[in-house]
Homo-oligomer: A and B are copies of this chain.
Amino acid sequence: MVELVHVPLPGRAYEVRIGAGLLDVAGEAILPILRRPKVFIVSDAHVAGLHLPALLNGLETAGITAVCLDMPQGEATKSWAHLQQVVEWLLSEKTERGDVVIAFGGGVIGDLVGFAAAIMRRGVRFVQIPTSLLAQVDSSVGGKTGINSPQGKNLIGAFHQPSLVLADTAVLGSLTARDFLAGYGEVVKYGLLGDAGFFEWLEDHGSALAAGDMAARIEAVKRSVQMKADIVLRDEKEHGDRALLNLGHTFGHALEAATGYSDRLLHGEGVAIGCALAFELSARLGHCSQEAPSRVRADRKSTRLNSSH
Protein backbone atom coordinates (compact mmCIF):
# COMPACT_ATOMS: atom_id res chain seq x y z
CA MET A 1 0.00 0.00 0.00
CA VAL A 2 1.44 3.32 -1.09
CA GLU A 3 -0.29 6.52 -0.06
CA LEU A 4 0.20 9.73 -2.03
CA VAL A 5 0.02 13.32 -0.89
CA HIS A 6 0.27 15.99 -3.57
CA VAL A 7 1.88 19.35 -2.87
CA PRO A 8 0.58 21.38 -5.83
CA LEU A 9 2.73 24.51 -5.48
CA PRO A 10 2.59 26.43 -8.76
CA GLY A 11 5.59 25.61 -10.95
CA ARG A 12 7.14 23.32 -8.35
CA ALA A 13 4.46 20.75 -7.57
CA TYR A 14 5.60 17.43 -6.14
CA GLU A 15 4.40 14.22 -4.63
CA VAL A 16 5.03 12.61 -1.25
CA ARG A 17 4.86 8.80 -1.39
CA ILE A 18 4.33 6.99 1.87
CA GLY A 19 4.58 3.22 2.30
CA ALA A 20 6.57 0.26 3.53
CA GLY A 21 9.46 -0.84 1.29
CA LEU A 22 9.79 2.27 -0.86
CA LEU A 23 13.60 2.05 -0.78
CA ASP A 24 13.36 -1.16 -2.81
CA VAL A 25 11.46 0.59 -5.59
CA ALA A 26 13.15 4.00 -5.30
CA GLY A 27 14.65 3.77 -8.79
CA GLU A 28 11.30 3.32 -10.45
CA ALA A 29 9.97 6.37 -8.59
CA ILE A 30 12.96 8.59 -9.32
CA LEU A 31 13.77 7.61 -12.90
CA PRO A 32 10.99 9.71 -14.51
CA ILE A 33 12.48 12.95 -13.15
CA LEU A 34 16.10 12.21 -14.17
CA ARG A 35 17.75 13.56 -17.31
CA ARG A 36 20.52 10.96 -17.08
CA PRO A 37 20.47 7.73 -15.01
CA LYS A 38 22.80 8.92 -12.24
CA VAL A 39 22.13 10.36 -8.80
CA PHE A 40 24.19 11.99 -6.05
CA ILE A 41 23.34 10.74 -2.56
CA VAL A 42 24.25 12.49 0.68
CA SER A 43 23.50 10.57 3.86
CA ASP A 44 24.72 10.26 7.41
CA ALA A 45 27.07 7.50 8.47
CA HIS A 46 24.49 5.84 10.73
CA VAL A 47 21.66 5.77 8.19
CA ALA A 48 24.00 4.76 5.36
CA GLY A 49 25.27 1.84 7.40
CA LEU A 50 21.74 0.55 7.97
CA HIS A 51 19.90 1.38 4.75
CA LEU A 52 22.19 2.47 1.91
CA PRO A 53 22.51 -1.02 0.41
CA ALA A 54 18.71 -1.26 0.09
CA LEU A 55 18.52 2.15 -1.57
CA LEU A 56 21.39 1.44 -3.96
CA ASN A 57 19.76 -1.84 -4.89
CA GLY A 58 16.43 -0.11 -5.47
CA LEU A 59 18.14 2.39 -7.76
CA GLU A 60 20.17 -0.21 -9.60
CA THR A 61 17.15 -2.26 -10.59
CA ALA A 62 16.00 0.80 -12.53
CA GLY A 63 19.45 1.21 -14.11
CA ILE A 64 20.44 4.22 -12.00
CA THR A 65 24.02 4.56 -10.80
CA ALA A 66 24.88 6.56 -7.70
CA VAL A 67 27.77 8.22 -5.92
CA CYS A 68 27.51 8.73 -2.16
CA LEU A 69 28.85 11.02 0.54
CA ASP A 70 28.43 10.34 4.26
CA MET A 71 28.14 13.12 6.83
CA PRO A 72 28.55 12.69 10.59
CA GLN A 73 25.31 12.07 12.49
CA GLY A 74 23.88 14.84 14.67
CA GLU A 75 22.73 18.44 14.75
CA ALA A 76 26.32 19.77 14.60
CA THR A 77 26.40 18.69 10.96
CA LYS A 78 24.07 21.58 10.03
CA SER A 79 27.11 23.88 9.87
CA TRP A 80 28.94 26.11 7.39
CA ALA A 81 31.79 23.60 7.20
CA HIS A 82 29.56 20.68 6.25
CA LEU A 83 27.54 22.80 3.82
CA GLN A 84 30.75 23.73 2.05
CA GLN A 85 31.84 20.09 2.06
CA VAL A 86 28.59 18.89 0.46
CA VAL A 87 28.54 21.64 -2.19
CA GLU A 88 32.20 21.21 -3.14
CA TRP A 89 31.73 17.43 -3.27
CA LEU A 90 28.77 17.82 -5.65
CA LEU A 91 30.83 20.15 -7.84
CA SER A 92 33.84 17.82 -7.79
CA GLU A 93 31.52 14.98 -8.86
CA LYS A 94 30.50 17.15 -11.85
CA THR A 95 26.87 17.46 -10.82
CA GLU A 96 25.10 19.36 -13.60
CA ARG A 97 22.20 21.77 -13.49
CA GLY A 98 19.76 19.11 -14.69
CA ASP A 99 20.88 16.51 -12.14
CA VAL A 100 19.10 15.35 -8.99
CA VAL A 101 20.62 15.16 -5.50
CA ILE A 102 19.20 12.77 -2.90
CA ALA A 103 19.00 13.66 0.80
CA PHE A 104 18.93 10.31 2.58
CA GLY A 105 18.56 10.59 6.34
CA GLY A 106 16.79 12.45 9.11
CA GLY A 107 15.97 16.12 9.45
CA VAL A 108 19.61 17.20 9.70
CA ILE A 109 20.50 15.61 6.36
CA GLY A 110 17.32 16.87 4.69
CA ASP A 111 17.93 20.45 5.79
CA LEU A 112 21.64 20.44 4.96
CA VAL A 113 21.44 18.68 1.61
CA GLY A 114 18.33 20.58 0.51
CA PHE A 115 20.19 23.81 1.16
CA ALA A 116 23.29 22.57 -0.69
CA ALA A 117 21.06 21.68 -3.65
CA ALA A 118 19.46 25.15 -3.46
CA ILE A 119 22.77 26.98 -3.91
CA MET A 120 24.84 24.58 -6.05
CA ARG A 121 24.82 26.16 -9.56
CA ARG A 122 22.08 28.47 -8.19
CA GLY A 123 19.76 25.53 -7.65
CA VAL A 124 19.53 21.88 -8.67
CA ARG A 125 16.62 19.56 -7.94
CA PHE A 126 16.64 17.19 -4.99
CA VAL A 127 14.71 14.23 -3.63
CA GLN A 128 14.01 13.74 0.06
CA ILE A 129 14.18 10.20 1.38
CA PRO A 130 13.52 10.83 5.09
CA THR A 131 14.44 8.02 7.47
CA SER A 132 13.24 9.39 10.83
CA LEU A 133 9.63 9.86 11.86
CA LEU A 134 10.28 13.54 12.46
CA ALA A 135 11.67 14.01 8.95
CA GLN A 136 8.86 11.99 7.37
CA VAL A 137 6.05 14.01 8.98
CA ASP A 138 7.69 17.42 9.09
CA SER A 139 11.05 18.52 7.75
CA SER A 140 11.08 16.65 4.42
CA VAL A 141 7.94 18.44 3.22
CA GLY A 142 7.59 22.17 2.64
CA GLY A 143 10.97 23.24 1.32
CA LYS A 144 12.53 24.81 4.38
CA THR A 145 16.23 24.03 4.15
CA GLY A 146 19.22 25.41 5.99
CA ILE A 147 21.97 25.26 8.54
CA ASN A 148 22.50 26.61 12.04
CA SER A 149 24.46 29.71 12.98
CA PRO A 150 26.31 30.33 16.23
CA GLN A 151 23.53 32.96 16.60
CA GLY A 152 20.75 30.35 16.54
CA LYS A 153 19.09 27.43 14.79
CA ASN A 154 18.07 27.50 11.12
CA LEU A 155 19.07 31.13 10.66
CA ILE A 156 20.76 30.48 7.31
CA GLY A 157 18.98 28.75 4.45
CA ALA A 158 16.62 28.81 1.52
CA PHE A 159 13.11 27.87 0.53
CA HIS A 160 13.78 25.05 -1.91
CA GLN A 161 11.07 22.49 -2.55
CA PRO A 162 12.03 18.88 -3.21
CA SER A 163 10.99 17.30 -6.51
CA LEU A 164 9.82 14.13 -4.79
CA VAL A 165 9.61 12.75 -1.24
CA LEU A 166 9.79 9.03 -0.51
CA ALA A 167 8.81 8.18 3.07
CA ASP A 168 9.54 4.49 3.59
CA THR A 169 7.70 3.59 6.80
CA ALA A 170 9.52 0.24 7.04
CA VAL A 171 12.69 2.19 7.82
CA LEU A 172 11.07 3.53 10.99
CA GLY A 173 11.51 0.05 12.47
CA SER A 174 15.21 0.75 12.91
CA LEU A 175 14.65 3.85 15.05
CA THR A 176 15.28 3.73 18.78
CA ALA A 177 12.18 4.16 20.93
CA ARG A 178 13.47 7.55 21.95
CA ASP A 179 13.89 8.77 18.35
CA PHE A 180 10.48 7.40 17.37
CA LEU A 181 8.83 9.22 20.27
CA ALA A 182 10.69 12.44 19.49
CA GLY A 183 9.10 12.35 16.05
CA TYR A 184 5.75 11.45 17.57
CA GLY A 185 5.83 14.81 19.33
CA GLU A 186 5.55 16.45 15.90
CA VAL A 187 2.71 14.08 14.90
CA VAL A 188 0.72 15.05 17.99
CA LYS A 189 1.35 18.70 17.10
CA TYR A 190 -0.71 18.24 13.91
CA GLY A 191 -3.54 16.83 15.99
CA LEU A 192 -3.34 19.88 18.23
CA LEU A 193 -3.32 22.26 15.26
CA GLY A 194 -7.08 22.21 14.96
CA ASP A 195 -7.69 18.63 13.80
CA ALA A 196 -9.59 17.20 16.77
CA GLY A 197 -10.47 14.08 14.75
CA PHE A 198 -6.80 13.27 14.15
CA PHE A 199 -5.98 13.94 17.80
CA GLU A 200 -8.69 11.51 18.87
CA TRP A 201 -7.42 8.97 16.32
CA LEU A 202 -3.97 9.31 17.90
CA GLU A 203 -5.45 8.83 21.37
CA ASP A 204 -6.92 5.54 20.08
CA HIS A 205 -3.97 4.35 17.99
CA GLY A 206 -0.93 5.68 19.89
CA SER A 207 -0.09 2.27 21.32
CA ALA A 208 -0.37 0.51 17.97
CA LEU A 209 1.85 3.17 16.37
CA ALA A 210 4.54 2.76 18.99
CA ALA A 211 4.29 -1.04 18.76
CA GLY A 212 5.06 -0.90 15.04
CA ASP A 213 1.63 -1.40 13.42
CA MET A 214 2.53 -0.57 9.80
CA ALA A 215 -0.95 0.45 8.60
CA ALA A 216 -1.27 2.80 11.57
CA ARG A 217 2.16 4.28 10.91
CA ILE A 218 1.37 4.88 7.25
CA GLU A 219 -1.92 6.52 8.22
CA ALA A 220 -0.24 8.76 10.83
CA VAL A 221 2.47 9.87 8.41
CA LYS A 222 -0.04 10.47 5.62
CA ARG A 223 -2.38 12.59 7.74
CA SER A 224 0.54 14.59 9.15
CA VAL A 225 2.02 15.23 5.70
CA GLN A 226 -1.39 16.20 4.33
CA MET A 227 -1.83 18.78 7.11
CA LYS A 228 1.64 20.15 6.58
CA ALA A 229 1.10 20.32 2.81
CA ASP A 230 -2.18 22.21 3.29
CA ILE A 231 -0.49 24.77 5.49
CA VAL A 232 2.52 25.16 3.17
CA LEU A 233 0.16 25.70 0.22
CA ARG A 234 -1.52 28.53 2.08
CA ASP A 235 1.75 30.15 3.15
CA GLU A 236 4.93 28.77 1.57
CA LYS A 237 7.24 31.54 2.83
CA GLU A 238 5.87 31.79 6.37
CA HIS A 239 4.27 35.19 6.23
CA GLY A 240 1.25 33.95 8.18
CA ASP A 241 -0.38 30.55 8.65
CA ARG A 242 2.85 28.61 8.38
CA ALA A 243 3.83 30.00 11.77
CA LEU A 244 1.13 27.64 13.14
CA LEU A 245 3.64 24.85 12.58
CA ASN A 246 5.79 26.43 15.25
CA LEU A 247 3.34 25.28 17.93
CA GLY A 248 5.43 24.07 20.84
CA HIS A 249 8.63 25.43 19.27
CA THR A 250 8.92 28.64 21.31
CA PHE A 251 9.19 26.77 24.60
CA GLY A 252 10.91 23.89 22.79
CA HIS A 253 13.75 25.99 21.35
CA ALA A 254 14.29 27.61 24.74
CA LEU A 255 14.64 24.17 26.30
CA GLU A 256 16.96 23.02 23.51
CA ALA A 257 19.13 26.11 23.99
CA ALA A 258 19.24 25.50 27.74
CA THR A 259 20.47 21.96 27.14
CA GLY A 260 23.04 23.06 24.56
CA TYR A 261 21.30 21.45 21.52
CA SER A 262 22.74 18.17 22.75
CA ASP A 263 21.53 14.60 23.02
CA ARG A 264 20.11 15.48 26.43
CA LEU A 265 17.01 16.82 24.68
CA LEU A 266 16.10 15.87 21.11
CA HIS A 267 14.31 18.42 18.94
CA GLY A 268 11.08 16.42 18.93
CA GLU A 269 11.24 16.03 22.69
CA GLY A 270 11.57 19.79 23.07
CA VAL A 271 8.54 20.24 20.81
CA ALA A 272 6.48 17.73 22.78
CA ILE A 273 7.26 19.39 26.09
CA GLY A 274 6.77 22.78 24.42
CA CYS A 275 3.26 21.78 23.27
CA ALA A 276 2.37 20.71 26.80
CA LEU A 277 3.68 24.00 28.18
CA ALA A 278 1.86 25.99 25.49
CA PHE A 279 -1.44 24.37 26.44
CA GLU A 280 -0.75 24.95 30.14
CA LEU A 281 -0.19 28.63 29.38
CA SER A 282 -3.29 28.83 27.20
CA ALA A 283 -5.43 27.24 29.89
CA ARG A 284 -4.16 29.73 32.46
CA LEU A 285 -4.85 32.60 30.08
CA GLY A 286 -8.35 31.23 29.51
CA HIS A 287 -7.78 30.48 25.80
CA CYS A 288 -8.57 26.76 26.07
CA SER A 289 -10.36 24.45 28.46
CA GLN A 290 -8.84 23.41 31.79
CA GLU A 291 -8.85 19.75 30.68
CA ALA A 292 -6.91 20.32 27.43
CA PRO A 293 -3.38 20.34 28.90
CA SER A 294 -3.77 16.97 30.58
CA ARG A 295 -5.06 15.39 27.35
CA VAL A 296 -1.99 16.74 25.50
CA ARG A 297 0.32 15.29 28.12
CA ALA A 298 -1.57 11.99 28.29
CA ASP A 299 -1.47 11.25 24.57
CA ARG A 300 2.28 11.20 24.50
CA LYS A 301 2.61 9.46 27.84
CA SER A 302 0.39 6.53 26.91
CA THR A 303 2.39 6.04 23.75
CA ARG A 304 5.65 5.96 25.63
CA LEU A 305 4.35 3.42 28.12
CA ASN A 306 3.26 1.14 25.31
CA SER A 307 6.32 1.47 23.14
CA SER A 308 7.79 -1.87 22.20
CA HIS A 309 11.20 -0.45 21.30
Contacts and interface: CB of A to CB of B under 8 A. Distances in A.
Contacts of A155: 91, 120-121
Number of copies: 2
Interface string A159-182: 100000000000000000000000
Interface majority SS (helix, strand, loop, mixed), chain A: mixed
Contacts of A159: 122-123
A253 to B, nearest CB: 15
Nearest to A97: B238
B88 A123 contact: no
A153 to B, nearest CB: 12
Say which size band chain A's interface belongs to: 20 to 34
A13 interface: no
A144 B122 contact: yes
A84 B91 contact: no
A24 B84 CA distance: 39
A119 B158 contact: yes
A122 B157 contact: yes
A149 B87 contact: yes
A122 B91 contact: no
Interface string A22-43: 0000000000000000000000
Contacts of A237: 122-123
A151 B92 contact: yes
20 contacts: A80-B80, A87-B149, A88-B151, A91-B149, A91-B151, A91-B155, A92-B151, A119-B146, A119-B156, A119-B157, A119-B158, A120-B155, A120-B156, A121-B155, A122-B157, A122-B158, A122-B159, A122-B237, A123-B158, A123-B159
Interface of A: 80, 84, 87-88, 91-92, 115, 118-123, 144, 146, 149-152, 155-159, 237
